[in-house]
Amino acid sequence: MTATANSIILHQYDISPFSEKVRIVLGLKGLEWFACDEPVIMPKPELVALTGGYRKIPVMQIGADIYCDTQIIIRELEKRFPTPSLFVGGDRGIGWGIGMWTDRVFFQAAVAIIFGGGAALADEAFIKDREKLTGRPFDIEAMKAAAPMMAEQFRAQLGWLEDQLADGRAFLMGDKPGIAEANAYYNLAFIRWTSPAGAKLIEAFPKLLAWEARVRAIGHGTRHEISREDALDIAQAASSTEQVSRDAGEPNGLAPGDRVTVMADDYGRDPVVGEVVSSSAQHIAIRRKDPRVGEVVVHFPRTGFLVIKG
């Protein structure tokens, strides 16, 4: 199977929890996709050629359109492949809000438990890389000290999920799986892959355990592999399909053609510079040129990102 300009290419690595969020969405929608494995630490020259600076994982590529952050990746997948919908009842807005909880507070508790527990992932090169990523010391000793408190935090949030399932429903929003599953599940998967002590916390919640098995069974759709060079060749040969559009509601008057810098507001704040193609309350798409891939359009969500004019 060969990838084309219409194929979904997920720049990822297998042990990446945020990639697992997207893989579950690919499974829910029964999609065929290409995994393009990226390094766990910098340098990531091929990824940065596509994004213009953004280095976090995952990044989705469809032709010359590059989607940075799981929120915009999932929004695009829902737009291009609306059936079955990720919105299964009563969660069309709050589904995104669940992501802001699980990607930040829930995820940070998992990280402290995993690395405070001495996960073998954290060698010297990894620690140096993550210090650069976050702009703070990656302080294993501090994480060790915080791990017991974080276990309480993590357990409390597992308890919310258990309570959500208390009426016997199969999935968080009812009888069908959707965006809430993708958002909630990947932190449990991350703990299972890396921390036996953390995984023990899950065992105390019977409804959650059964739910976890149901979500795992959804799978990842149909996965193929693609090399980084082949993915770059696809971007170079393709043209973006993003249409120019002006959002009259832009609070700061942003318009197509404006030069902007976009960066995450939390960690991995590497700036990406380009020219606005389209924007809305939920997205910004910017055009940039790269010597290896030519013209690409890079897409970001608005919550969790800063857009600076000029």
Q: Which is nearer to ligand GSH, 16 or 157 (CB)?
A: 16
Sole window of 14-22, 83-91, 137-145, 236-244 interacting with ligand GSH (rule: CB under 6 A)? 14-22
Residue 75 found at the interface with ligand GSH (CB under 6 A)? no
Residue 69 found at the interface with ligand GSH (CB under 6 A)? yes
Residue 46 found at the interface with ligand GSH (CB under 6 A)? no
Cα 20 from Cα 12, distance rounded (Å): 9
Residue 306 found at the interface with ligand GSH (CB under 6 A)? no
**Shortest distance, CB of residue 141 to ligand GSH, whole angstroms?**
21
Q: Measured between alpha carbons, how far is residue 245 from residues 93, 124, 199, 248, 294 in Å?
A: 23, 46, 47, 10, 22
Q: Which is nearer to ligand GSH, 110 or 205 (CB)?
A: 110
Residue 56 found at the interface with ligand GSH (CB under 6 A)? yes
Residues 229-268 that bind ligand GSH (CB under 6 A): 268
Residue 17 found at the interface with ligand GSH (CB under 6 A)? yes
Residue 10 found at the interface with ligand GSH (CB under 6 A)? no
Among 16, 157, 195, 279, binds ligand GSH (CB under 6 A): 16
- Residue 26 contacts residue 186 (beta carbons within 8 Å): no
Among 103, 112, 184, 194, binds ligand GSH (CB under 6 A): 103
Q: Which is nearer to ligand GSH, 194 or 278 (CB)?
A: 194
Q: Which amino acid is at 188?
A: L
Cα 271 from Cα 263, distance rounded (Å): 5
**Shortest distance, CB of residue 117 to ligand GSH, whole angstroms?**
18
Neighbours of 231 (CB within 10 A): 24
Count the site residues for ligand GSH by CB under 6 A.
14
**Bridge partners, 301 (sequence order):** 283
Sole window of 54-62, 168-176, 200-208, 285-293 interacting with ligand GSH (rule: CB under 6 A)? 54-62
Q: Which is nearer to ligand GSH, 46 or 103 (CB)?
A: 103
**Shortest distance, CB of residue 207 to ligand GSH, whole angstroms?**
27
Q: Rounded to the nearest 5°, which phi and psi values hold at 246?
A: -100, 135
- Residue 142 contacts residue 50 (beta carbons within 8 Å): no
Among 35, 50, 57, 189, binds ligand GSH (CB under 6 A): 57
**Shortest distance, CB of residue 56 to ligand GSH, whole angstroms?**
3
Q: What are the residues binding ligand GSH (CB under 6 A)? A: 16-18, 40, 55-57, 69-71, 103, 133, 268, 304
